[in-house]
Structure 1
Amino acid sequence: MYKTGILNSDISKVLSDLGHTDRIVIADCGLPIPKGVRKIDLALTFGVPSFENVFEIVLKHMSVQKMIFAEEIKTENKALFEKVSQTKVEQQFVSHETFKVLTQDTVAIIRTGEATPFANVILESDVLF
């Protein structure tokens, strides 16, 4: 049995299979999921689990070289923007419309119960060496 790490077997499998530059999304409960992209639905109710909880745990277990956010997070969700800005990972900002297009080329979208605006991120996988 898996002793440490992420207990959700779907997330654990996705992270184990990532290659360099593969991308996953951590999303609020309102982000559209493109057809053909794997959805890992963790949402139980509004706010549970939160974007922040899932984001922090995934970052502990994934080597990330870049994070992509919608530009709108800076003005429409300042509290979350301030928290995610504290990471030392490269950050890129695009329009929300562009963000939604980029989700079409991701390995999986992890849907949280987050119900605040623009609480979404695309995480781009790094290499360990």
Structure 2
Amino acid sequence: MKKHGIINRDIASALAAFGHTDLLVIGDCGLPIPKGVPCVDLSYRIGDPAFLTILDAVLDDFEAEAAFIAQEITKGNPEVENEILKKMKADYITHEELKDLSKQAKLIIRTGEATPYANIVLRSGVIF
């Protein structure tokens, strides 16, 4: 049994298969899931698990070289925006661009988050 990192077998397996520049999306419970993109749905009730809880767990176990968030988060959810920016630099794109980018994701992790624009696209980096 794993001793450290993410213990969810679907997420751990998917992250182990990521290569440089592959895209990972962590989304709120309202983010549309594009056809054909694998999704691990962690939601079990409105608000749980929280987006930031899952983002923290993923960042502990995943090398992200870039992050993209919706520019609408600045007005729609500044608390979550501030927490994201404490953890990493993020580039702003429109929410529509974020949804389009999610079509290229290797995996989407759906949380129970129910606040506006609590979504992020992470681009896989390398550890060397």
Question: Could you say which TM-score interval applies, normalised by the shorter chain?
Answer: over 0.9
The corresponding residue for 1:54 is: 54
The residue that corresponds to 2:12 in the other structure is 12
Unaligned 5+ segments in structure 2 are none
1:90 Cα deviation (Å)? 3.6
Length-normalised TM-score, structure 2: 0.97
- Tell me how many residue pairs correspond in the alignment: 128
Report the aligned-residue RMSD.
Answer: 0.7
Superposed CA offset, 1:21-75 (max 9, x none) = 0011000000000000001000000011000100000000000100100110111
User: Which letter does structure 1 place at the counterpart of 2:95?
Assistant: H
Indicate the residue corresponding to 2:65 in structure 1. Answer: 65
Does residue 1:103 correspond to 2:102, yes or no? yes
How many Å separate the matches in 2 of 1:23 and 1:10?
16
Whether the aligned pair in 2 keeps the contact of 1:65 and 1:90 (CA below 8 Å) is: no
Superposition pairs for residues 105-120 of structure 1, below 5 Å?
A: 105-120=104-119
Percent of aligned positions with the same letter in both sequences?
42
What TM-score comes out, normalization by structure 1 length? Answer: 0.97
| Distance in 2 of aligned mates of 1:3 and 1:28 | 28
Moved >6 Å (runs of 4+): none
* Paired residue type of 1:96: H
Taking the aligned partners of 1:90 and 1:29, their CA distance within structure 2 comes to 24
Q: Does 1:33 align with 2:37?
A: no
Shift of 1:14: 1.1
Matches of 1:5 and 1:43, distance apart in 2: 19
Q: 1:127 maps to which residue?
A: 126
Task: Give, in whole Å, the separation in 2 of the partners of 1:91 and 1:32.
Answer: 21
Tell me the secondary structure at the aligned position of residue 117 of structure 2.
coil
- SS of 2:69's partner is strand
CA distance in 1, matches of 2:98, 2:16: 24
Which 5+ residue runs of structure 1 have no aligned equivalent? Answer: none
**In structure 2, distance between residues paired with 1:66 and 1:49:** 23
* Structure 1 residues 77-116: Cα deviation after superposition (integer angstroms, max 9, x where no partner): 00001111112x4411111111100000000100000000
